[in-house]
Chain A
Amino acid sequence: MKRTLIESSGSLIAICVMLISIPAMAVEEKQLPVHITADKVNFDLNKEQSIYTGNVRIEQGNTRLQGSQVTIFQQDSEIIRMVATGAPAEYHHDNEDGTWVRAKSNHIQYLANKDRLIMTEQARLVQDEQIIESDRIVYNTKDQTLIAGGPAGKEDQNSRVKITLTPDND
């Protein structure tokens, strides 16, 4: 099976990858309850912020976010943002058709009101056998696009994007 490896320097600021079809979280799934398990939690009642530590797992339907620490930010009792850290923190999503997405990085930020997942620090996203690696990957959970590479305006030769594509055997 031939693999195609694409590497890009940091001078290419952003790559919009449509080749990798990453299923968006179904609208129905977003209505499902969010289940949380952890060893400990600290609530800061002044800031509407809770910090979960120790084997943290947050699951909603077929989606899971896990790390050694997850901070949940709320506003008016609604979750607006979650930040997972770990070595690495992980994002998993399984589809009904058996396909799946796995993402890892040391820092994963989920913006609930923007349907966005921002992975930094050794980010790696895998779908089946297609792999994207970069210092930064921003994935839009709603319209199935992702952007990999350093932030705009911060071209850096060390900020490389590596894409490994595995064509289907058909």
Chain B
Amino acid sequence: MRVRTREMKHRLTLLGVAFIALLSWWLLDTEQHHNLITPGDDEHFLDLFIDDFELTSTDETGRADFTIDAERLEHYNDEDHSRIYKPVIQLHSSPDGWQITALTGTIDDDYSMVVLNGDVVMQNMIEEEPMRIDAQMLSIDTEREIIETADAVTITDGKLVLNAIGMRYDNRKQILKLLADIRGTYETNPH
């Protein structure tokens, strides 16, 4: 009887140790899972970049609607847009076409909205005396082909120079509106 009791105690002890070991292993494993670093969970980092970026959007016939060129495009993991540097936008759908340049900009992930900042210059691409629009910020709705700003703009069209606050250009209708505080000069004899 004494031998059996001793063996029983020994087995129980072994079982207890095994249980504690198992429990410890489980706890350690769980903690390790929690401590695993998932990239970007709480961090802001560059997840995509493209040098010499070029994008062309076409209509249903395959003809180019607009193109976006930039020296560099960057996308960050926690943002819903990309950043572009030294962008050049060309709108092809109107008869003359427009080219828009800037220092920087952003493009939504679905390419529906482009916002340009810094020394924005918009010019129509006809050869002689193109109309020119200067601003510090322009937004381009690529689906509706609307270009607008609430900031100051300067329009230069041949001998006419106009300053205004706010602009809205409908590229499909080719109607340009200046929204407030129009002041300008038409040079009749610039020579």
Contact = CB atoms under 8 A, between A and B. Distances in A.
A34 B182 contact: no
B159 interface: yes
B172 to A, nearest CB: 11
A34 B162 contact: no
Interface in A1-36: 30-36
A40 B178 contact: yes
Interface residues of A, number: 21
Contacts of A32: 188-189
B179 A33 contact: no
Nearest to B183: A37
A46 interface: yes
Contacts of A77: 129, 157-160
Given A77-B129, A77-B157, A35 B184 contact: yes
Contacts of A43: 157, 175-178
Nearest to B155: A43
A36 to B, nearest CB: 5
Interface of B: 96, 129, 131, 157-160, 162, 164, 174-189
Of all A-B residue pairs in the complex, the 10 with the closest CB atoms, nearest first, are A77-B158, A34-B186, A43-B176, A45-B174, A31-B189, A38-B182, A36-B184, A41-B178, A33-B185, A33-B187
Interface of A: 30-46, 52, 60, 77, 79
22 contacts: A30-B188, A31-B188, A31-B189, A32-B188, A32-B189, A33-B186, A33-B188, A34-B185, A35-B186, A36-B162, A36-B183, A38-B182, A41-B182, A43-B157, A43-B175, A43-B177, A43-B178, A45-B174, A46-B174, A60-B188, A77-B158, A79-B186
